Amino acid sequence: MPELPEVETVVRGLRQTVLGQTIEDLSLNAPPASVFVSASFGDESLPNIIIGRRITSVDRRGKNILISLTGKMTLWVHLKMTGHFYYRERSTPLDKHDLVVFYLRPENRAPGKMSLRFNDYRRFGRLRLFYNRELWQQDGLKELGPEPLELTRGDFVLLCKSAKRMIKPALLDQSFIAGLGNIYADESLYASRIHPTRVTSSLSTPKLVELHGQIRRLLKMAIRKMGTSVDSFSGVNGNPGEFQKYLKVYGNEGNPCLRCGRLIVRQRIGARSAHFCPRCQRA
């Protein structure tokens, strides 16, 4: 599933391409579960509501994409496992997995030549439309924890000290910290030499400060490298990310640790797997 750097890459790509444009037309080829319109809109369909609306901003919260439209409404998008946004010329043939196609008209009212396509071959992605006044009351947004790139080291230490839980599941909990997933949790713990089963409250303040710094460093680096492409992730332009070249433990089980030579292991912790070096990251 795309994590903070991948979603941030998509958001920045959308800002560079569709911001300010008007939705001139809309084509839907999505299963009913993929598209949801709030009951506040009555019986109106998604095309009837958003055709003619202008895209006023594109933001990220955790792993969520928030596309604001005129009329005080927001299209809330979660990419899930294989969702993508592609910015394509209208003349480009449609792919069978292009579930939603937005036909766009630029700000200068020139004839529309471009489209934004939501493509998802596993069809787990979600597009949901809400009025702004009700958006932050929704499950999946209202319980999100702080953003890791906005969280101060002091607040991070207090957050961890106030919890008594294993550090890896805590980092994956979106109500604890928003945006992290398996990739960046594993890499941050490895960089900090912390075993994924260590209890948060048992970690010393210097060690938590180190972890906070490593999380920020790795997220910023991954954003610069346009995210990690270990499965199918790509940006709005269709180009894959490059951070997979810098992964030290994630997906490297059976390979020697770059620091000590011990083989990287993969172990199920809680409901998720963790990759770590059993020598560098002692339990």
Q: Among this protein's residues, is 3 annotated catalytic?
A: yes
Q: Residue 53: name the closest of 89, 16, 25 by CA.
A: 25
Choice among 3, 8, 187, 210 that is catalytic: 3
Contact 233, 6 (CB under 8 A): yes
Q: Residue 100: name the closest of 80, 114, 81, 120 by CA.
A: 120
Choice among 6, 8, 60, 63 that is catalytic: 63
Q: Among this protein's residues, is 117 annotated catalytic?
A: no
What one-letter code names the amino acid at 192?
Answer: S
Paired sense of beta strands 265-269 and 83-89, if any: unpaired
Choice among 54, 123, 225, 272 that is catalytic: 272
Q: Among this protein's residues, is 44 annotated catalytic?
A: no
Choice among 2, 5, 148, 196 that is catalytic: 2
Give, for 67, the enclosing helix (H) or strand (E).
Answer: strand 64-69
Q: What is the DSSP string of 222-272?
A: HHHTT---SSS---TTS---SGGGG-SSTT-TTSBPTTT-PBPEEEEETTE
60 phi-psi bin (left φ>0, alpha ψ -120 to 50, beta other):
beta
Q: Among this protein's residues, is 89 annotated catalytic?
A: no
Catalytic positions, written as ranges: 2-3, 63, 272
